[in-house]
Structure 1
Amino acid sequence: MKERLNLDERLAAAAMNGMTTAVWAEVQPDKVAIYDPDGRTRTFGELNANANRIVRLLRQNGLQAGDAVALVCSNRAEFVEVVAATLRAGFRITPVNWHLTADEVAYIVNDCEAKAVFCEARIATCGPAVAQCPNVVVKLAIGGEIPGFLPYDEALAPLDGADIDDAVLGNAMMYTSGTTGRPKGVYRAQPVVALQALYSMRGYDHETSVQLCAGPAYHAAPLAFDVRAAMGAGCPLVFIDKWDSELVLKTIAERKVTHLHLVPIMFQRLLALPQEVKDRYDVSSVQYIVHGAAPCPPEVKLAMIEWFGPVLSEYYAGSEGGAGFTISSEEWLKKPGSVGKRPALLGSKILDEQGEECPTGVPGTIYHQLPPGGGFTYYKDEAKTQANRVGDYFTMGDVGYFDEDGYLFLTGRNAETIISGGVNIYPQEIDNELIKHDAVADSSTVGVPHDEWGEQVKAVILLKPGYQPSEELSQEILAFARANLPAFKVPRSIDFVTDLPRSEAGKIQRNKVRAPYWEGRKRQI
């Protein structure tokens, strides 16, 4: 017990200057820290040594605490090494979505003012993107060659891997998904210190826990709940390169995965597997599935709880942060559809279009209280920063309501609200019902032009395998909707599609679903 207390104290102190990984490297140097998709591994000792080498390399090239580093890399060990390095050297890291175009990558690298970039060779956009970034002074290529870049392994090999003795806690600046206009950096003047106590609260044990990262590590949620959690808790991190439902189950069974972060579309794809495939894999090792990023239809979440047990923990937040809504499986079963109770520490309120607080049960824009000191700003965009503020509260554009017990229910986003005949209709509520129909794999309800009402409700539906689009099925789904929704929320029509556009976080991009219906017309909202 005394040794455990001593370790906890050392970890808590190390979290203050970004050296948590160094503590784990001392405690368990030969334990595997990362399992890569291609079978490669990194021990905690190797991970920590490379983090120190990266710091020395960047310092040799003139980088100082506060300078920015961009990382364009898939799920692999080098991603974690760069994160570990920036955490201990005071650098500000921006992981970049490597699915973006070269121009989009270049915009983020330039906008975040990166002086160093780490790029994976297999990502074809990296070379052309960085060629547009004149302020980058250090360029490293991971896993292959990129003309004009230093090879990662060769550049690090001659450098000292011993712990640096002047660690400074680093920062991160994530970029919003940019559904309207260019993405913006979410900037915090002060780095966020990871609370070590959270890991024990989530059931981590460095001797037995195994973390799975099945989503893109460059996204805020997998970075926090998978990568940073494994680094802080001292447990192995198993990377999957690309979503494969059966591979996820196989990995859980073979690696005895205990912790993982998923999003609702991943739930749906796992649930859609044939029963004989699901029965093939033992998932009893799973102790904690954290999920968020997109609203989860209650029917889907209930099916996951029935399969995995009451191990799901939901959060509601964004890149900007949030008031800290969370809800356990047990609590959710009493309040199906909720994302948690009003937090005690930071306030949260629902405001109408006039800025007045909405009564219980009435949807409005959700506002979260900023922490002391102001929280965040959108990097180099004061106008956008102020546009989402009301006093010391900010909004991410989400719409929802509190029930009589103070539990929050999400109904959509302001930009997604359908206004038909002057009445606000929240599409997520409709989707949550439509997905209960046996034929519906997923749904994205949108508002389409209507000469009299302004907008009319249309459901754009993805069918489950084995079902074919037909007028008969359309009428059956509409009848199902009429039996479960108020008349004004029932879709007036249905379109069937073979795919629905999604962000890297798994959210349906409702604006892209809606756009074709509004071509040549101006949406009045």
Structure 2
Amino acid sequence: MEKQKYGSNEEFCTEYKTEVPDNYNFAFDCVDKIAADDPSRLAMIHVGPDGTRTEKDFDFFSKKSARLANALSKAGVEKGDRIMIILYRRIDWWVSMLACHKIGAVPVPSPNLLTVKDIQFRVNFAKIKGIIAEDSVADRADEAHKSCPSLKVMVQAGEGDLHDGWLDFETICGEASDSFPRPADCAGGDDSLLIFFSSGTTGQPKMVEHTHNYPLGHYVTGAYWHDLEPGAVHLTLADTGWGKAVWGKYYGQWMAGAVVFVWDFRGKFEPSELLRVLADNKVTSFCAPPTVYRFMIREDLSKYDLSALTHCTTAGELLNASVFEAWKEATGLPLYEGYGQTESVLQIATFPNMTPKPGSIGKPCPGWDIALIDTEGNLCAPGEEGQICVKLDPRPVGLFTGYLDEPQKTENVMVDGYYQTGDKAWMDEDGYYWFLGRTDDLIKSSGYRIGPFEVESALITHDAIVEAAVTGVPCDVRGQAVKATVVLAPGYEGSEELTKELQNHVKKVTAPYKYPRIIDYVTELPKTISGKIKRAEIRAKDEADAKA
């Protein structure tokens, strides 16, 4: 695709249209096409766990994915079969995704932290036929397999000993042809492309289905939000087991002509190591959650040559103004926020042709007709809080088809011509949106409606706080009282004095009525496997404790 230039955001939203070719298939129509036209074009720079740097061109991905597609087909994988992929940020993940696209199989990217019970639930719920997994996951998969009758094909990646009944990734690729012509009944267009399991913050995860047109919706993500030009080197710091990986490490970046940079670190990231990787590898575009930027600005940034970096984006949490300002002061680069979901591509964002407002997620993306609707079904005026809703006619490219095998849950969110996201926000007079949180997470206290992100954002600006989760607890006087569950930084201990200090800090940073009347000190917060805070679990525990 050729990136068009727009003088203003208004022109961008008016003029840009997502073109949807007939029977589009990303593997054939993007990757294989680039490989045919310019086989040596750099596709990926990969830095492994041991620091080894590897470069791969599009010819490699075209041929290696063809080899795996042939091998999987020989093993019995067919169009429509669902394949769970549990791989680290190793090159094999991209090869596996492309191979599935070519066959028409439906990959189910999954985190490597899944337990035996998690694997059993997902395999049986989705009727998964095959699994491509790390050697370190094989034991769990073997245990789950005992109660998963649909699971027939097992492929192991990595250097560990091959488990019984598994195929070795490299061996089967080495034995197969590197040619996989486009099938006569090639999957594409409205056929199922992939399935994500939702984070499950409020219950069992749901199956979110996207079609083969979904990658086209991510062109805006790569070319315009990440501001990528051909040859740019982009790093999105995301695990391959959740949706942000295809947002920032795959579809839109390759369509924009950029090089996907992958840092395959294992375990918890170290901010100093991340800064070294950014500097040493001349990364030009970077995307990470606000928490990552918050950790990086605590480092001595003057020690790292970040001069190659030209554009930075962030999403997933509320961006605190102090983090925005500190990063901009140190690097000269503002942070451009964005908003979307597992169920969609980018819906709302701050683009380079806009002036960022710290804490605002920006304005609706082209092709996305967004409305804020209150609990009575009325459109919200500027300054009023409402649920973020997406108009379904015309249906935006990149919106999910629904929750598979759960029509009632799909029906619950597709209401009166809108997809209801379950997230709340308000819009200012300039048309910028300000995220408040999930509708279930909002706190109603003494007539005020308080978003947890606002209070959490205030708390984490205090040196004592590493993480914070804000919830409402029943209160006879106020209806609900604001409670903060916090993880302290090393060197701090919970006490009445610290509680008062934190409460006064919040009163100074945000509106005084929002301060937490209760602060609970914990060693860790309950989270989903994708790292999202499970506020519902905190609320349930508080309710149980109140009844005890």
TM bracket, shorter-chain basis? 0.7 to 0.9
1:356-435 mapped onto 2 (5 Å cutoff): 356-370=378-392, 372=394, 375-421=400-446, 423-435=448-460
Q: Which residue of 1 aligns with 2:368?
A: 346
323-332 vs 211-220, greater mean Cα deviation: 323-332
User: Runs of 5+ in structure 1 lacking a partner?
Assistant: 3-11
The verdict on how the C-alpha distance between 1:283 and 1:130 changes in structure 2, with shifts beyond 3 A counting, is farther
Amino acid of the residue matched to residue 264 of structure 1?
P
Query: Is 2:267 the counterpart of 1:247?
Result: no
Over 3 Å counting, the alpha-carbon distance change for 1:148 and 1:389 in structure 2 is same
Residue 508 of structure 2 corresponds to which residue in structure 1?
483
1:136 maps to what in 2? Answer: 151
Maintained 8 Å contact 1:316/1:324: yes
1:67 equivalent in alignment to 2:81: yes
- Which of 153, 162, 165 is the aligned partner of 1:148? 165
**1:215 aligned to 234, 238, 241, which one?**
238
Q: Counterparts in 2 of 1:75-224, with a 5 A limit?
A: 75-123=89-137, 124-143=139-158, 144=160, 145-166=162-183, 168-169=187-188, 171-189=193-211, 191-194=213-216, 198=220, 199-201=222-224, 202-207=226-231, 209-224=232-247
Per-residue deviation, residues 371-399 of structure 1 (Å, max 9, x unmatched): 64585210110111111222121222111
Output the CA distance in 1 between the equivalents of 2:93 and 2:413.
Answer: 32
2:87 touches 2:93 (CA, 8 Å); kept in 1? yes
Alpha-carbon distance between aligned partners in 1 of 2:533 and 2:327, rounded to the nearest angstrom:
20
- Alignment partner of 2:136: what SS? coil
Partner of 2:327: 304
Query: Once structures 1 and 2 are overlaid, which stretch shifts more, 228-237 or 350-359?
Result: 228-237
Q: Is the 8 A contact 1:361 1:403 kept in 2?
A: yes
Q: Does 1:43 align with 2:43?
A: no
Q: Which residue of 2 aligns with 1:9?
A: none
Instruction: Report the 3-state secondary structure (helix = DSSP H, G, I; strand = E; otherwise coil) of the residue aligned with 1:108.
Output: helix
CA, structure 1 residues 160+91, in 2 after alignment: closer, same or farther (shift >3 Å)? same
Cα separation, partners in 2 of 1:465 and 1:360, compared to 1, 3 Å: same
Deviations 1:291-347 (A, max 9, x none): 2122222322332233333353321110111672110477454x3321112445332
Helix, strand or coil at the partner of 1:93: strand
Identical columns (%): 25
Deviation of 1:472 after TM superposition, in Å, equals 2.2
> Compared with structure 1, are the counterparts of its residues 311 and 18 closer, same or farther at alpha carbon in structure 2 (3 Å cutoff)?
farther
Q: Distance in 2 between matches of 1:309 and 1:495?
A: 37
Q: Number of aligned pairs?
A: 509
Q: Show CA shifts across 1:423-459 (max 9, x none).
A: 4322222222333334434332221232443421122
Contact 1:346–1:371 (CA<8 Å) still a contact in 2?
A: no
Q: What is the Cα deviation at residue 43 of structure 1?
A: 2.5
| 2:150 maps to amino acid | N
Q: TM-score, normalised by structure 2?
A: 0.84
Opposite residue 405 of structure 2, the aligned amino acid is K
Contact 2:219 2:252 (8 Å CA) reproduced: no
C-alpha separation in 1, matches of 2:114 and 2:500: 39
Specify which of 470, 473, 476 is matched with residue 445 of structure 1: 470
Distance 1:13 1:69, change over 3 A: same
Partners of 1:441 and 1:462 within 8 A in 2? yes
Equivalent residue of 1:310, what SS?
coil
| 2-structure distance, mates of 1:90, 1:320 | 21
String of CA shifts for 1:75-129, please: whole Å, max 9, x gaps.
1011110011122332221101221211112222232332221111112422222
For residues 329 and 471 of structure 1, the distance between their equivalents in structure 2, rounded to whole angstroms, comes to 45
Deviation, 1:512, is 3.5
CA contact (8 A) 1:42 1:77 kept: no
Contact kept in structure 1, 2:488 and 2:521, CA below 8 Å? yes
Q: Which amino acid aligns with 1:304?
A: W
Greater relative contact order (CA < 8 Å, ≥ 6 in sequence): 2
User: 2:217, 2:345 within 8 Å by CA — same for their partners in 1?
Assistant: no
Query: TM-score if structure 1 supplies the norm length?
Result: 0.87
Distance in 1 of aligned mates of 2:154 and 2:169: 9
2:83 partner letter: V
Once residues 322 and 196 of structure 1 are traced to their aligned partners in structure 2, the CA distance between those partners, rounded to angstroms, is: 6
CA-based RMSD of the aligned residues comes to 3.0
Q: Could you say what secondary structure the match of 2:424 adopts? A: strand
After TM superposition, the structure 1 stretch with the greater mean CA deviation from structure 2, 395-404 or 30-39, is: 30-39
State how far apart, in whole Å, the 1-side matches of 2:153 and 2:457 are: 48
